[in-house]
Amino acid sequence: MQARPRPKTPRRHFLGIARGRPRGYRYFDLLLKHLSGDLARVFDGRLTYPRQLEIHLPADHVRPCNFDCGHCQGRLLERTLAPYEPKALRLFDELEGRIPYHIFGGAYSEPLLNPLLPDFLELTKKQGSFFGIHTNGSLLTRLERERGFLTRLCRIATSPEDYLSVSLDAGRPASHRATKRPPADCFDEIIEGVRLAVRARGRRRRPSIRLCYLLNRTNGSEDELHDAIRLAEELRVDSLRFSIPYDLYGKGFDKVREYKARVEAPEHEHFSRLLARLLSGRRPGRPSVFYIPPDCQDVDRMRFRQCIYCYYQITIGADGFVYRCSSTATPSFKMNRLGELPARREDFERLIRTNEDPSFDPSSCFRAGARCNRMALEVNLEWADLSRPKEKG
């Protein structure tokens, strides 16, 4: 029988998974803070709103995204788009800021393609929540020129907790084209968009502006990594995060293990050596340049018996259903649907309660080809460690 988890944060806490990352990327710490340091709230039978609501907007209702990245997590999945926005806006109105963070991204959809994104952002801020946006960045310049999108975004941001995260994945136009497969070259336009965003926020430094860089052999020469870091410094963004792409969702663990041996292990060896001299480490100042190694996404660590990611987030999929987690928010993983998106708070609370289920078995995800993302893996591993019966003596 499992020992009951300790009610408060133990002094010796954490497996040290998050060492070397900026604060906003230490996921178990973030969860703990959300629970006011009180782990006894986990599975205590009472409703606890999760830290964040992830919203996968249904793009422009026609195409999920304007890019075709080889590493896109939606590649093997059903990518249904359902126009659910009016219902979600009504629900947002009723939530009245009960969920502190609203994160706009997608397993397979580009949020800036959705014309109602600014309305969602305005409502998020009006209700006192923070926003996060994950985008490929291709529309930033155009939306700023045509609708003043970035100016508006920076006007409503109230804190560096609000953020704009751009998946750059390249330091030069040629490798951007090869990695992201856009319909037309747009690397320079993305850089211009980031520049406009930094200019629009001015000295207030809010929202935070983050760049992400998935490494491969096309975009990963030493010279290009230097270029990317120089660019991040010159643009004056807050962070630049390097990592190795996950294997695609929708594959069995045996296939993912093959990818781990064929791609992740050698790429990690190569890039961790290459990046060692380039990362910020303990150096103060901006941008924070850091690397998340692939053991943070390792299938062989997905052996826990409970999932507490439900306290971290809940997700509205681009198909108009509410899902247990963002990495399973697709009709390909119907088993993780909690229900159709409701417009009323009481109905949404019922879905949150259903998600907070101590008997939910994570292996039901893994058997279906679904996997935890980095955040989920980290919080679930920490939880498994804390709730494991401790050896006597």
Site for ligand SF4 in 278-307 (CB under 6 A): 307
Q: What is the dihedral of CA 278, 28, 32, 368, to 10 degrees?
A: 150
In the shown chain, the binding pattern of residues 65 to 94 toward ligand SF4, with x for contact by CB under 6 A and - for none, equals x-xxx--x-x--------------------
Say whether residue 31 binds ligand SF4 (CB under 6 A).
Answer: no
CB of 228 to ligand SF4, least distance (A): 17
- Tell me how many residues contact ligand SF4 (CB under 6 A): 23
Distance CA 333, CA 54 (A): 17
Say whether residue 325 binds ligand SF4 (CB under 6 A).
Answer: yes
DSSP annotation of 358: T
Percentages helix, strand, coil for the chain (3-state, rounded to 5) are: 40, 15, 45
DSSP annotation of 267: H
**Of 41-49, 221-229, 231-239, 362-370, which segment contacts ligand SF4 by CB under 6 A?**
362-370
Name residue 372's amino acid: C
Say whether residue 110 binds ligand SF4 (CB under 6 A).
Answer: yes
CB of 77 within 8 A of CB of 57? Answer: no
Distance CA 181, CA 185 (A): 9
Burial of 25 (0-12, 13-18, 19+ CB in 10 A): buried
CB of 308 within 8 A of CB of 380? Answer: yes
CB of 323 to ligand SF4, least distance (A): 8
Say whether residue 365 binds ligand SF4 (CB under 6 A).
Answer: yes
Contact residue for ligand SF4 among 52, 315, 330, 336 (CB under 6 A): 336
Burial of 48 (0-12, 13-18, 19+ CB in 10 A): middle
Q: Which residue has the tokens 């509410």?
A: 322
Contact residue for ligand SF4 among 318, 370, 381, 386 (CB under 6 A): 370
Site for ligand SF4 in 215-274 (CB under 6 A): none
Distance CA 198, CA 350 (A): 40
Say whether residue 211 binds ligand SF4 (CB under 6 A).
Answer: no
Question: In angstroms, how far is CA 100 from the centroid of its own chain?
Answer: 15
With respect to ligand SF4, which residue has the nearer C-beta, 55 or 307? 307
Cis, bond preceding 50 (omega within 30 deg of 0): no
CB of 224 to ligand SF4, least distance (A): 19
Name residue 32's amino acid: L
Q: At what angle do helices 85-95 and 117-126 cross, to 10 degrees?
A: 10
**Of 41-49, 84-92, 105-113, 292-300, which segment contacts ligand SF4 by CB under 6 A?**
105-113
With respect to ligand SF4, which residue has the nearer C-beta, 92 or 323? 323
Contact residue for ligand SF4 among 25, 131, 309, 321 (CB under 6 A): 309
CB of 137 to ligand SF4, least distance (A): 9
Q: How many helices (H) and strands (E) does the chain have?
A: 13, 10
Say whether residue 133 binds ligand SF4 (CB under 6 A).
Answer: no
Contact residue for ligand SF4 among 165, 362, 374, 381 (CB under 6 A): 362
With respect to ligand SF4, which residue has the nearer C-beta, 342 or 362? 362
CB of 216 to ligand SF4, least distance (A): 13
Say whether residue 58 binds ligand SF4 (CB under 6 A).
Answer: no
Tokens of 201: 């926020």
User: What residues make contact with ligand SF4 under the rule CB under 6 A?
Assistant: 65, 67-69, 72, 74, 106, 108, 110, 136, 307, 309, 324-325, 327-328, 336, 362, 365, 370-372, 376
